Amino acid sequence: MKPNTMDNHKLQNQVLEIGTRLKTPPSKLLIDTVFAVELAQQEHLFFAMGLADIAHTLVAIEKQLIPQAEGKELLTYLLELQAKPDSFIATPDRGDIYTNREAWLAERTTSVGWLGSGRARREATTTAFLLVMRQWLVEFSSTLIALAELLCQQADAHKLSVMPDYTYLQAAQPTSFGHYLLAFVYPLLRDLERLELLLSQLNCSPMGCGSTNGSRLAQGREQLAELLGFNKPIAHARDAMWQADLAIETAAILTTSIINLSRLAEDLQIYSTQEFGLIELDDSHARASKIMPQKKNPFALTHIRGVANKTLGVLTAIAATARTPSAQPDNRLAIYGDLPEAMQMVNNAAALMTEVLVQLSFNQPRAVELIESGWTMATDLSETLVQQCGLDFRSAHQLVAFLVSAYAGKSLSTLTAEALNQAANTVLGQPLNLTDVQLKIALDPYQALQARSEMGGTAIASMNTMLTDCHKRLIEFSRKIQASKTYFTVKQQALLESVQNRWRQS
């Protein structure tokens, strides 16, 4: 049933935004500077809000809260609106996304008056937000899984690609590029664990909670949760409407994830410099200088670092807005736009890092040169003196430190067993009788990799154990994520089909 007048835009604004309590419409400044921002932050909730409205209407019909005839008519127009027709144009003078949708319906049917039975607009917005966020969490988890799998592949390929490891940006000990890359997989696995727990907490329905403490009108909370594919209703109605911790937790997980990628990006940016020369980005991930023709700027890595900076700001803002008395809208409005935007931004950064790693090249000759030209093998020499000569580690450390000073500006590879034994007489007052063969083995970086054979070390067997474990865990994460993705899609399709097949007007 359509209203008699269709050109009642001003009247609709008054009915929907003013109601009976407010006697004047919102000011133009409020519309232009507040409502416009609010609407822009919520427009991505349109489709999910439609699912919430349809589920609410279905259950309300079954609970006899809405008369069947009006309910069927309302569902007909809700389905039409779900397709987002050209006739739906959201404008700030009509308020937020909920009241814009309501205004569109009101221009077509008086049954829209039943849509708000026992529910605040905040319930519909919160539900839509959770539906969108759980979908984003699934997509983000999939992206992190792909990145972790790629890192594992590269780690496997570079198990014997020796290079110096760096602490304080100083050459420290020999490692492999594969062992280095695998170190970034484990934080990703922890992120995936955190995301799995967050999804289980976030995938609970606020539907049917009234405004803060339920409703006298039957809402069918369990049915609503089931229709929308939620695990269960949120237990406490007031908590359902005003949860602040899950948004903070989401932002925190985004932050931990992007900081892990930022650390990798910063390392790779340093390793790509002429001074290090360990890796080179593909041209497709670089940017040329407009003034210095020799430069190949690692722009993709710089972008990832920038995303980390911005995400830190989002986390701070969300935490700050939540630090209010409970039940305040200001700690909700901004997150509707800021948090999904941050999720997409971090998701894209993770996908970009995956692409960078696929096409990145590692300079093995340069890595060997860096090991041989310095004192990266100093710790291995000290430990060899402990193993082969019976020195305590303090004495061995003291002797090698002396040699570092004595051979300033020279490579450890120039050291001979004779010179080492003479230095031992000087520093320790006793000869060591280390042989040339023993010294050669001590200074061989490939031997050093295999010597680190305990759990977590660089030896092939240790690497294979870690890679097998990582692959196993990633397969399980992928299985769970795919199951969630399929379940959400099936529930959404089932909801829409149930309306089309049973309740829609012929």
Judged against a pLDDT cut of 50, whether residue 94 lies above it is answered with yes
Cα distances (angstroms) measured from residue 74 to each of 63, 88, 97, 101: 16, 16, 18, 12
Q: Please compute the mean of the pLDDT values over residues 105-124 and round it to a whole number.
A: 90
Residue in this structure with the two tokens 């000011």, named with its chain if needed = 27
Longest dimension (CA), the chain: 108
Distance CA 265, CA 186 (A): 16
The CATH class for the domain spanning 123-166+176-364 reads mainly alpha
More confident site: 453 or 210: 453
Q: Which pLDDT does position 330 carry in this prediction?
A: 66
Q: Which pLDDT does position 14 carry in this prediction?
A: 44
Judged against a pLDDT cut of 60, whether residue 280 lies above it is answered with yes
Pairing of strands 162-167, 170-176: antiparallel
Q: Which pLDDT does position 20 carry in this prediction?
A: 61
Q: Please compute the mean of the pLDDT values over residues 219-239 and round it to a whole number.
A: 92
232 confidence band (pLDDT: 50, 70, 90): very high
Q: Which pLDDT does position 109 carry in this prediction?
A: 93
Contact 341, 372 (CB under 8 A): no
Q: Which pLDDT does position 431 carry in this prediction?
A: 83
Q: Which pLDDT does position 98 carry in this prediction?
A: 93
Q: Is 47 helix (H, G, I), strand (E, B) or coil?
A: helix
Segment among 351-365, 398-412, 443-457 with least mean pLDDT: 398-412
Q: Please compute the mean of the pLDDT values over residues 437-464 and round it to a whole number.
A: 93
Integer-rounded Cα radius of gyration of the chain: 31
Under DSSP, the state recorded for 112 is G
503 confidence band (pLDDT: 50, 70, 90): low
Judged against a pLDDT cut of 90, whether residue 304 lies above it is answered with yes
More confident site: 289 or 384: 384
Give residues with Cβ within 8 angstroms of 70, minimum separation 6.
111, 114
Q: What percent of the chain has pLDDT over 90?
A: 68
Q: Which of 81, 77, 92 is nearest to 13 (CA)?
A: 92
Q: At what angle do helices 121-157 and 460-498 cross, to 10 degrees?
A: 150
pTM of the model: 0.91
Q: Please compute the mean of the pLDDT values over residues 357-376 and round it to a whole number.
A: 93
Judged against a pLDDT cut of 50, whether residue 230 lies above it is answered with yes
Q: Where are the alpha helices (DSSP H) in 212-244?
A: 221-227, 237-242
Q: Which pLDDT does position 240 carry in this prediction?
A: 86
Contact 238, 126 (CB under 8 A): no
What are the residue boundaries of the structural domains of the chain, listed by start? 9-117, 123-166+176-364, 378-442
Q: Please compute the mean of the pLDDT values over residues 189-198 and round it to a whole number.
A: 98
Pairing of strands 296-297, 361-362: unpaired
Q: Is 445 helix (H, G, I), strand (E, B) or coil?
A: helix
Q: Please compute the mean of the pLDDT values over residues 24-31 and round it to a whole number.
A: 91
Segment among 34-43, 150-159, 342-351, 482-491 with least mean pLDDT: 34-43
Q: Where are the alpha helices (DSSP H) in 161-298?
A: 177-182, 185-202, 221-227, 237-242, 245-271
Distance CA 77, CA 432 (A): 91
Q: Which pLDDT does position 215 carry in this prediction?
A: 85
Segment among 48-57, 77-86, 222-231, 289-298 with least mean pLDDT: 289-298
Cα distances (angstroms) measured from residue 347 to each of 248, 252, 257: 17, 14, 10
For the beta carbon of residue 149, count every other beta carbon within 10 angstroms. Answer: 18
pLDDT tens for 160-183 read 999 999 999 998 899 999 999 999
Q: Which of 336, 307, 309, 306 is nearest to 321 (CA)?
A: 336
Distance CA 99, CA 115 (A): 11
CA dihedral 488, 494, 499, 501 (to 10 degrees): 160
Contact 103, 12 (CB under 8 A): yes
Distance CA 435, CA 131 (A): 69
Distance CA 8, CA 106 (A): 10
More confident site: 243 or 477: 477
Q: Please compute the mean of the pLDDT values over residues 89-110 and round it to a whole number.
A: 94
Q: Which pLDDT does position 11 carry in this prediction?
A: 42
**The CATH number of domain 9-117 is 1.10.275:** yes
With b for 16 or more beta-carbon neighbours within 10 A and e for fewer, the 259-268 pattern comes to bbbbbbbebb
331 confidence band (pLDDT: 50, 70, 90): low
